[in-house]
Structure 1
């Protein structure tokens, strides 16, 4: 989306330019439903970004230490998460880079068979905003084909790697006929997505950095990136978000990573969020099922 004024500094832009940028990808109508299934007071959408080794592969695969951290996600994290979800009887959505699906096909097949959603999360956790339209589209299509081949089910939703959204991403999602995206942050409830002011038919199930375990617990030995919040502090943030969603009759969405949340000193956060949500009567559902519900039951 090149514009004749793109070489100017933002403070030099005419009104047309900054309005065009703001309105290119925009939140449309709120899709907060009139009620939730079985008159549940609110809804909970648990998600896990199964990045595994692709966080490091994207950077060139030079750190075997970081790749081993990714392997922990599939070796320890996924089975631990599976057991918790199974015991509680709640479904979740797993966003899987296609390379991870090829590395661990049995993991995706198993999760899919248990009623969890397997959804798009890029090819190799690439930064799609640096790609051309043609390259981004080709990778998204190849990723969808790969997940379908592995699981037998074609994904209906996506979450861009690192929540990185290019000027082309929504157009490609629309062309692919995807039901929803879960990468943007304009609301706490679902909303319809507009592209240059026009309805796309794609629903946004929004995320938020404060409801993401990685921002509190990530570690990189070669950068100034260190865990800075104790598990009790993270749980308090998540719990307050959950409680407010309950009070408003809205949606609580949570993003976690198998190689991060499943550590022995942290996994209790997931258990407690599920216990609290169930004690308050929440409807737990995959992101896809929540989007289907809000499309059918919004004002």
Structure 2
């Protein structure tokens, strides 16, 4: 029986304006909301450095080429850089050729930034296409963090599931790609960001302390029910980086430390779990 370990991965989607542009929101005010991510990134990096916490940043190629100094600061802080497309376009809306070209372009930007290729991938808007898995395997990725088939236990991604209305799912075989599962309720965006689109409104703007209490309860349940596992939180610098949220987040991090959380990059956590939970 392995020693009890409760690994926490703090992950950041460093989208800046890319998510707004991909949705056609290119007037000055929505673009400025994304631009605030550079301000937020400095606050987050400072907090992580103060507690010597490693983390993973999923960075679109757009961000790397638009804000190279901000991205270099992430690398200098010792944090992992993960793949998050180039233009933050949902893969399910792309052709195979478009998705592959975007993936390759983003990979090249990451190599220029870090000197190495990314081993982890997170799809924009957590929306994989029918082609994404094959592309990730083709280009040698080791893990994905876009799906929700688990919470504390990463698992091998299957290939070739057959889904047809009126019939049971026919599951395909597992692959070498490991899923590091995520969840919308452990993502800051739906809790905090006010969105008004032609067909939908996300009210957001919840109390930061209420959300952080909920996130802390998730860790406590994780600790109570598992001997070994990995829990991933997802955040966006332009969302989390606002003052009151940073204050609540700092308290959350300090509580995780007191509760015995072991912080790792997602690449480190992937290695820690091999042979134990997958």
State whether TM-score is above 0.5.
yes
Q: Secondary structure at the match of 2:147?
A: coil
Q: Distance in 1 between matches of 2:220 and 2:98?
A: 42
Instruction: Let me know the Cα RMSD of the aligned residues.
Output: 1.6
Which SS does the other structure have where 1:271 is aligned? helix
Using the alignment, how far apart are the partners of 1:58 and 1:85 within structure 2? 30
Q: Which residue of 1 aligns with 2:201?
A: 224
Instruction: For 1:89 and 1:100, locate their aligned partners in 2 and report how far apart those are by CA, in whole Å.
Output: 25
1:145 equivalent among 108, 128, 133: 108
Are residue 273 (structure 1) and residue 252 (structure 2) matched? yes
Alignment-derived partner of residue 283 in structure 1: 262
**Structure-to-structure mapping, 1:107-126, within 5 angstroms:** 107-126=70-89
Shift, 1:224, TM fit:
2.3
CA contact (8 A) 1:216 1:227 kept: yes
TM-score (norm 2): 0.89
Query: How far off is 1:298 after superposition?
Result: 3.2
Aligned residue number for residue 242 of structure 1: 219
Q: Does 1:60 align with 2:29?
A: no
Q: Alignment length, in residue pairs? A: 262
Aligned pairs (5 A) from 1:120-139: 120-139=83-102
- Asked whether 1:206 is paired with 2:196, we answer no
Equivalent positions of 1:149-228 (< 5 A) are 149-188=112-151, 189-196=153-160, 197-221=172-196, 224-228=201-205
Query: Residue 169 of structure 1: CA displacement?
Result: 0.7
- 1:277 Cα offset (Å): 1.8
Secondary structure, counterpart of 2:45 in structure 1: helix
In the TM superposition, what whole-angstrom CA distance separates every residue of 1:150-177 from its partner, at most 9, and x where no partner exists?
2222111010000011111111101111
**Structure-1 separation of matches of 2:156 and 2:53:** 26
Alignment partner, residue 81 of structure 1: 44
- What displacement does 1:122 show? 1.0
Cα distance change of structure 1 residues 270 and 228 upon mapping to structure 2, 3 Å threshold: closer
1: CA distance, partners of 2:143 / 2:248: 27
Q: Check conservation: 1:129, 1:166, Cα contact below 8 A.
A: yes
Gaps of 5+ in 2: 161-171
CA distance in 2, matches of 1:246, 1:272: 19
Give the CA deviation at 1:218. 1.1
Provide the secondary structure at the position in 1 that maps to 2:85.
Answer: coil
Q: Give the conservation status (yes or no) of the 8 Å contact 1:108–1:118.
A: no
CA distance in 2, matches of 1:191, 1:269: 32
